A and B are shown apart, each in its own frame.
Chain A
Amino acid sequence: SQTIHQWPATLVQPVGSPLSLECTVEGTSNPNLYWYRQAAGRGLQLLFYSVGIGQISSEVPQNLSASRPQDRQFILSSKKLLLSDSGFYLCAWSPGSFTDTQYFGPGTRLTVL
């Protein structure tokens, strides 16, 4: 069966510090991978998606970036965090296109102070 991992589970960072969140998927090959942010009172916002190694599409212009160095690894980064980057970050995978069911990881709670 497929499993998706995210770490860290929680993170408290000062404004201006760098960020690296990691997501890995087990039990499948060549998945589509997604990064979402969930803010209080708002729906899930798609940040990035990837259909293969090195292929990243950005949905929202911001100071975040994503990379996919390996088939089942997806990384969300920032060089300098802003207060507005606080939120709950979720990684998801699907076996194919967007129309396929997406399965979510446990999430990372990021607080920027």
Chain B
Amino acid sequence: EDQVTQSPEALRLQEGESSSLNCSYTVSGLRGLFWYRQDPGKGPEFLFTLYSAGEEKEKERLKATLTKKESFLHITAPKPEDSATYLCAVSTQGGSEKLVFGKGTKLTVNP
């Protein structure tokens, strides 16, 4: 069964304190890995799509990387407005085509 595990479940950082969120996956064949940001009471906002190991994408203070078994979302010098829940999802080859989501990492950045 395809699985996506995100860690940690929650992370508290001080403003400017860089860190990384992890998304590990067990799938039959990866087609794509997606990162979303979700604010309380709102729908997920798309951040990145990664398709192959070694691929990296950046947006402002965020950088996503992908290996054959996991992805990292690096947050450099975070600000309070980066506080949100970050969701990871994968799409797989073969079988039922659907996105499998992790439960998310809740990030809080204190000023």
A residues touching B (Cβ–Cβ < 8 Å)? 6, 41-44, 46, 49, 59, 90, 92, 97-99, 101-107, 109
SS class of chain B's interface: helix, strand, loop or mixed? strand
Given contacts A104-B45, A107-B43, contact A98 B101 (CB under 8 A): no
Cβ–Cβ contact A43 & B46, under 8 A: no
Q: Look across to chain B and name the residue whose beta carbon is closest to the beta carbon of A105.
A: B43
Answer yes or no: B71 CB below 8 A from chain A CBs: no
Answer yes or no: B74 CB below 8 A from chain A CBs: no
Q: How large is the interface on B (under 10, 10 to 19, 20 to 34, 35 or more residues)?
A: 20 to 34
Contact string against A for B residues 35-74, beta-carbon threshold 8 Å, 1 for contact and 0 otherwise: 0100001111110010000000000000000000000000
Q: Which of B11-19, B75-83, B91-99 contacts A (4 or more CB under 8 A)?
A: B91-99
Cβ–Cβ contact B32 & A44, under 8 A: no
Given contacts A46-B98, A59-B98, contact A101 B104 (CB under 8 A): no
Q: Which 9 A-B pairs have the closest CB atoms?
A: A104-B43, A98-B97, A43-B101, A44-B101, A99-B31, A107-B43, A104-B44, A99-B91, A43-B103
19 of the cross-chain contacts (CB-CB < 8 Å) are: A43-B87, A43-B100, A43-B104, A44-B101, A46-B98, A59-B96, A59-B98, A90-B43, A92-B43, A98-B91, A98-B97, A99-B31, A101-B34, A101-B46, A101-B49, A102-B99, A103-B46, A106-B43, A107-B41
Given contacts A99-B31, A101-B49, contact A90 B44 (CB under 8 A): yes
B87 touches which one: A44, A103, A109 (CB < 8 A)? A44
| Min distance, Cβ A11 to any Cβ of chain B, angstroms | 14
A106 touches which one: B32, B42, B97 (CB < 8 A)? B42
Which residues does chain B contribute within 8 Å of A44, judged by CB atoms? 44, 87, 89, 99, 101
Q: Look across to chain A and name the residue whose beta carbon is closest to the beta carbon of B48.
A: A101
Which residues does chain B contribute within 8 Å of A103, judged by CB atoms? 46
Which residues does chain A contribute within 8 Å of B102, judged by CB atoms? 43
| Min distance, Cβ A34 to any Cβ of chain B, angstroms | 8
